[in-house]
Amino acid sequence: MKKWHKWVGLIFTFFLFMFATSGIFLNHRRAISSVDVSRSILPSAYQYENWNNGAVKGSFKLSPDSILLYGGSGIWLTDSVHSSFAAYTTGIKEGTDNRIVNNILATSENRIFAVTTFGLYELNKDTNEWKSLSHLIDSRERFTDIALAKDGTMVLMTRSHIYTANEPYTHFDQKELSTPDDYKKEVSVFKTMWTLHSGELFGMTGKIIVDLLGVVAIVLCITGLILTFCPKIIKRKKRGGKNTKTDVSIFKGSLKWHNKLGAITIILLLIVCISGMFLRPPLLIAIIRGKTKPVPGSTLDSKNPWFDKLRCLRYDAFSKDWILYSSDGFYKLETLDSTPQKIRKAPMTSVMGITVFEQQDSVNWVVGSFSGIYSWNKESGESLNYYTGKPVEPRRPGPPTVTHAVSGFSNDFTGKRIVFEYGPGAQVLEEDKQFADMPASIKAGRMSLWHLCLEIHVGRIYAPILGVITDMFVFLSGVLFLIILITGYIVYRRHHRRS
């Protein structure tokens, strides 16, 4: 048991330290939203090339010869033939995470608004600067979308609520959407495991407890290294006739804290470890479609049927109704006060949500996600593959496959339809045309610290080293951590505590 605990722990120390540190940062996204790292120092998979990695989500036509490209790389001004690009983010809060733009729209008075992950902005066309209106919305939730009704009502959507405002858009009222006709008070097992792992299941108190467990894990790593190497240092000094009093004191203190912290927190550490293992393959497959009742008294036990589910909202100017996309699927509403009706014949979408939702004419919409991009007929429910124009084949049972992970779409450039895929980047559907090369100023982009921590936490950052076993990294790490915890506790009970 001692050997297993020592050598497995020694091998795993670096990864456990990175798990703990990145996990603490992941729990406080807003607090670190202004901190970035250069993509140039990251593996090649994270560097921009041909508008990939979510750099572009959509486009907005300012004028016949002025187009805004927006998405994960911020906002860029170009022309109809994309001859040049200039940053267009003056006034938006610093930090890549603060400049992830979800949507841009214009009112009938030609006032232009943009919604980011954490903010709402209006463009001052005289100065080309964005003015923050975020203070008008009393919410700490992430913003997901913005839409405009025919009567000029602006609707801002967060992950759980909508906020409405009329001209001049100086006051927003919170609105809770009605309970849908197919509602059951259930949450996904995945969501339960996710919030249990982060502590969010029990609100801020839970998150702080998990943060403290992260600190404990870091201390266990440091003290474990001291316990491994300090005895050799002490022996070497004794042979040289040097004073070892300080080294012995450090060793004894480290042993005391290593044992006590490990023993006191082992149950909580086991819960965090096992819940984390279920968030990635292969254990993820067992729970991905599972539903359960929300834990009583937890944050998931909400009276709001749309809690943390709202993702996208569009107003259909032809049929004069609304289409809502949530983590539970597509819904239709005659008005925002109506009962949402589930749309049964909807395009295939990824569990990560849709990235493209644009109306083409009175019945056809372009819908894209990491499951591909489709032309969807709202009336008939038929979906066609947007690349080929052929009907979509029924999804076969088994693990989801990703062939075209679509992150954005633009139809604002003359005679071009451009699909932005997460991996290969810009794909022009017209064979005889091309899109612009990615300028060096955009290629030299930055990644938010939060997203970097996410890549570290799930192990994708180690892909150049791990190769094909990258998807199994979290599971294998969980097994190793379980071995360390269990063997360490047994050694503590049978030896140190008895003595």
pLDDT tens-digit map of 20-41? 999 999 999 999 999 999 999 9
Residue-wise pLDDT tens digits, 86-127: 999 999 999 999 999 999 999 999 999 999 999 999 999 999
Contact 82, 68 (CB under 8 A): no
Residue-wise pLDDT tens digits, 62-72: 999 999 999 99
293 secondary structure, DSSP code: P
Helix (H) or strand (E) holding 458: helix 449-458
Query: How would residue 401 be classed by pLDDT, with cut points 50, 70 and 90?
Result: low
For residue 283, the model assigns a pLDDT of 96
pLDDT higher than threshold 70 for residue 400: no
For residue 227, the model assigns a pLDDT of 95
- Residues 6 or more apart whose CB falls under 8 angstroms from that of 63 comprise none
Helices (H) and strands (E) in the chain, counts: 9, 27
294 secondary structure, DSSP code: P
For residue 181, the model assigns a pLDDT of 87
CA 235, 238, 243, 249 dihedral sign is: positive
Share of the chain above pLDDT 90, in %: 92
- Give CA separation, 260 vs 101, 223, 274, 488, 497, in Å: 47, 12, 22, 11, 10
pTM for the model stands at: 0.93
CA distance 397 to 394: 9
C-beta atoms surrounding 362 within 10 Å: 11
For residue 92, the model assigns a pLDDT of 98
pLDDT higher than threshold 80 for residue 267: yes
pLDDT higher than threshold 70 for residue 497: no
Residue-wise pLDDT tens digits, 414-426: 889 999 999 999 9
For residue 78, the model assigns a pLDDT of 97
CA distance 58 to 419: 9
Residue-wise pLDDT tens digits, 361-395: 999 999 999 999 999 999 999 999 999 999 987 66
The token pair at 299 is 């944050």
For residue 145, the model assigns a pLDDT of 98
Tell me what the mean pLDDT of segment 245-274 comes to: 96
Residue-wise pLDDT tens digits, 427-464: 999 988 999 999 999 999 999 999 999 999 999 999 99
- Residues 6 or more apart whose CB falls under 8 angstroms from that of 145 comprise 102, 103, 115, 156, 157, 310, 311, 312, 313
Q: What is the DSSP string of 161-197?
A: -EEEE-TT----EEE-PPPPTT--S-EEHHHHHHHHH
- Residues 6 or more apart whose CB falls under 8 angstroms from that of 73 comprise 48, 54, 55, 56, 442, 445
Query: How would residue 351 be classed by pLDDT, with cut points 50, 70 and 90?
Result: confident
Residue-wise pLDDT tens digits, 153-181: 999 999 999 999 999 999 999 999 999 98
Cα 279 from chain centroid (whole Å)? 14
**CA-based nearest residue to 250, from 226, 282, 284:** 226
CA distance 428 to 409: 10
pLDDT higher than threshold 90 for residue 225: yes
> Domains of the chain: which residue ranges?
2-35+186-299+457-496
Arithmetic mean of pLDDT over the chain: 94
Pairing of strands 66-71, 154-158: unpaired
For residue 495, the model assigns a pLDDT of 77
**CA-based nearest residue to 125, from 106, 135, 111:** 111
For residue 403, the model assigns a pLDDT of 72
Coil, strand or helix: which one is 377? strand
For residue 498, the model assigns a pLDDT of 58
